[in-house]
Structure 1
Amino acid sequence: MNARQVQLVQHSFAQVQPIAEVASDLFYARLFELDPALKPLFRGNMQAQGHKLMMMLGVAVANLNKPEVVMPALQRLGERHAGYGVTEAHYVTVGEALLWTLEQGLGEAFTAEVRLAWEAVYLLVAETMQQAARRMTTPEASPVRSSLT
């Protein structure tokens, strides 16, 4: 991800923020349309979930130039999502829903260059979260005490 991509993502997200509630509604509607089996993973108030989504995106986008801030937060998020039952395949569907939502929200401003920038950001986010989730589910992640000690 280069400086131009960061700028494009930050600028385009600023355009989406005023319609954050609509955008989150669009996102979840599209997500469940793409994969209805994901719906049971979301318990509770979807409006609150949408607010959390937009807040998390806002923090990640605002800190794209500060990996020391965004990476640990994404790792913790990936660990939590592993506990919710999120699989690596789900990240593909989420990425598709996110890009579709941005296209709907931004209209003509969602240019090919903006799309590529968001794809780069989402790839970084998804890979970071997935790596953290894998660490949570591998035998090395949970220390096993020897019965000999």
Structure 2
Amino acid sequence: MTPEQVSLVQASFSKVVPIAGTAADLFYDRLFEIAPEVKPLFKGDLTEQKKKLIAMLATVVNGLDKLDTILPAASRLAKNHVTYGVQAKDYQPVGAALLWTLEKGLGEAWTKDVADAWVQAYTTLSGYMISEAYPKTVAAE
């Protein structure tokens, strides 16, 4: 990611923080709409999960300019997700739901440059997480 992309992601996320609860609701509603097969991976009330999502996003966004500091946590998170039944293919609808949520939450502030920066951020991080959690799958591709 370029420094400009990092700045765009960080600045745009700061606009989402005040509506974090709504954003989390939008995200999970959209995720379950476009990928209903992942819904059984989430047990019970999603209140805590929604808080974890926003906290994780904040950590990642704030660490984008020092990626090496967040990669160990991303690796652990990815490996933990495997134990919950998450598959490599599940990262695609998660990314789609995240981008959709950001577009809805940011409104006119969701520009092509902001969208491109978020796509780059998600692609970078999800690619790393997939390679950490599913090394044999990535090696086979």
* Deviation string, structure 1 residues 99-123 (Cα, Å, up to 9, x no partner): 0000000000000000000000000
**How far apart are the structure 1 equivalents of 2:66 and 2:72?**
11
CA apart distance, 1:22: 0.3
One-letter identity of the residue aligned with 2:75? Q
Match of 1:66, SS state, is: helix
The question of whether the paired residues in 1 share the 8 Å contact of 2:91 and 2:126 is answered with yes
Alpha-carbon distance, 1:75 to partner: 0.6
Instruction: Name the residue aligned to 2:116.
Output: 116
Would you tell me which structure has more helix in proportion to its own residues? 2
5+ residue gaps, structure 2, are: none
Q: Residue 45 of structure 1: CA displacement? A: 2.2
- Residue 134 of structure 2 corresponds to 134
Q: Corresponding residue for 1:67? A: 67
**Partners of 1:106 and 1:22 in 2: how far apart?**
12
Cα deviation 1:36-56 (Å, max 9, x = unaligned): 111100113211101000000
Q: Calculate the TM-score normalised by the size of structure 1.
A: 0.89
Q: What is the match of residue 14 of structure 2?
A: 14
Cα RMSD of the aligned pairs, angstroms, is 1.2
Q: Which residue of 1 aligns with 2:92?
A: 92
| 60-69 or 113-122: bigger deviation | 60-69
Which string of whole-angstrom CA distances, capped at 9 and with x for unpartnered residues, describes residues 27-82 of structure 1? 00000000111110011321110100000000000011112211111111110111
Aligned to 2:36: 36
CA contact (8 A) 2:88 2:134 kept: no
Distance 1:124 1:23 in 2: 22
2: distance between equivalents of 1:68 and 1:89? 25
SS at match of 1:43: coil
Number of residue-to-residue matches in the alignment: 137
What secondary structure sits across from 2:77 in the alignment? helix
**2:5–2:114 CA contact under 8 A, matched in 1:** yes
Paired letter, 1:32:
F
**Residue of structure 2 equivalent to 1:143:** none
Q: Which aligned runs of 4 or more in structure 1 are off by greater than 6 angstroms?
A: none
Normalised by the size of structure 2, how large is the TM-score? 0.93
1:24 shift after superposition: 0.3
